[in-house]
Structure 1
Amino acid sequence: MSGVLDWLNSEAFTAFDQHVIWSDMVGNCVGLIALALGWRRSIWTWPAQFASGVILVAAYASAQLSGGVGKQLLIIGVAFWGWNQWQRGRREHGGDIAVRFASGRERAVLVAGTVVGTLIVGGLFTAMPDLSWNPWPDAYIFVGTLAAMVAQARGLVEFWFAWVLVDLVGVPLAFSSGLAFSGLVYVVYLALVLWGMRDWWLRSRSSSRPVLEGAAA
């Protein structure tokens, strides 16, 4: 096992004075595939997110970003829940995954949860500096990713807006943490997110049916 971890955290190549490790490169490439599958509303986005999370745990651990490690562990856990939610949605809507905008209450819960969660996690990282050398951006990405994936699992268009907000902090944090490939992939993520946002937005307008009803049950 240690041999695999050593390989994952070994250098793949150097470009523009940035050292790229295997776990950072492979995990983020799989993450890009997961995002593209999410845009296509394919249920296989969840296994891809699970695989990406497993690999990227090693990358963030090597950069001593506990928030990043926690983010990937959340992705692994939420991937199981998201798979079940979309399976239920497919059964209820004839094999398709319908999408919609969140209600006012759902938006308020997502925003409030993100703010409160960031304050709690950021406070924890600040009180325990060994967990993260950059506590507040790390905490924001940790909690923002959870909010985005919960919105995705429920088929909410706001999922894409949440990813945009995570990317705005994730790009500079990745570069400053020595995860150059993550930084570059975040830029590609942003392009895919904007594309996916447009697609889900248009699909939400073409259907007035409730989506994934009972998902919170």
Structure 2
Amino acid sequence: MDWLNGEAFTAFGQHIKWSDMIGNVIGLLALAFGWRRSIWTWPAQFLSGVILFAAFATSHLTGSAGKQVVVMAVAAWGYWQWTRGRQQAQDGSVAVRFATWRERGYLAGGAVAGTLAVGGLFTLYPSLSWDPWPDAYIFVGTLVAMVAQARGLVEFWFAWLLVDLVGVPLNFANGFAFSGFVYVIYGALVLWGMRDWWLRSRRSGRPSLEGAPA
């Protein structure tokens, strides 16, 4: 599988790796499936995680590589969560909602505590990551976003946007130009998906929307 980390082509002076390109294209498909609330979002995210792990593991980005392990684990859990049938909408897709204020507190608190813990670990052991705090932020932010997605929370789109704000410059700085370019597309899909989930959650009128914006 060494060809995965080989150069596919050069664009605008940036060397594009096969693993970087293939993994992110599949990641885009996963995000599109998520927007459509399709169960296929999880197998696609798992496969993307496998390929991108191979890319980041060879580039001294422990947080980004570890993130892919988390992606694979949460993708398996998300698949199980969505197939349980407890949140199915009338059209057979997964029902979505806003998080309660308590759930938002858990997500935000977990993101802050997790970033401090992982960033501190990377700082104590510099060999783990060349960019400890951005790497930790992306690692934990991705976990928070995927957990929120698995629970059908609209807030998962906001979490992805916050991850993208750091992920784009970090990927360009570490030679993963295709990831940087794709993250721009991610941003557009995230905004579109956020709008769709937001409108659907308002139309549902579910009791679980307690604490959602008016």
Aligned to 1:23: 19
How big is each residue's C-alpha offset from its partner over 1:88-144, in whole Å with a ceiling of 9 and x where there is no partner?
136754533110000000000000000000000000001111110000000000000
Paired residue secondary structure (1:206): helix
Aligned to 2:195: 198
- Which of 49, 57, 60 is equivalent to 1:53? 49
Structure 2 unmatched runs, 5+: 209-214
Identity %: 71
Q: Could you tell me the TM-score, scaled by structure 1's length?
A: 0.93
Aligned to 2:71: 75
Distance 1:92 1:184 in 2: 34
CA RMSD of aligned residues (A): 1.2
Aligned to 1:130: 127
- Contact 1:89/1:98, CA 8 A, preserved across alignment: no
Question: Equivalent residues in 2 for 1:105-144 (5 A)?
Answer: 105-144=102-141
Q: Could you tell me the TM-score, scaled by structure 2's length?
A: 0.94
How big is each residue's C-alpha offset from its partner over 1:61-93, in whole Å with a ceiling of 9 and x where there is no partner?
122100001110000000111001111136754
Distance 1:178 1:84 in 2: 35
- Contact 2:38/2:93, CA 8 A, preserved across alignment: no
Distance 1:118 1:191 in 2: 26
- Contact 2:88/2:94, CA 8 A, preserved across alignment: no
Distance 1:179 1:62 in 2: 12
Aligned to 2:32: 36
1:66 aligns with 2:62: yes
Distance 1:126 1:210 in 2: 44
1:148 aligns with 2:145: yes
Aligned to 1:214: none
Structure 1 unmatched runs, 5+: 212-217
Distance 1:207 1:22 in 2: 42
Distance 1:129 1:182 in 2: 24
Number of matched residues? Answer: 207
Distance 2:16 2:57 in 1: 15
Aligned to 1:180: 177
**What is the deviation of 1:209?**
2.5
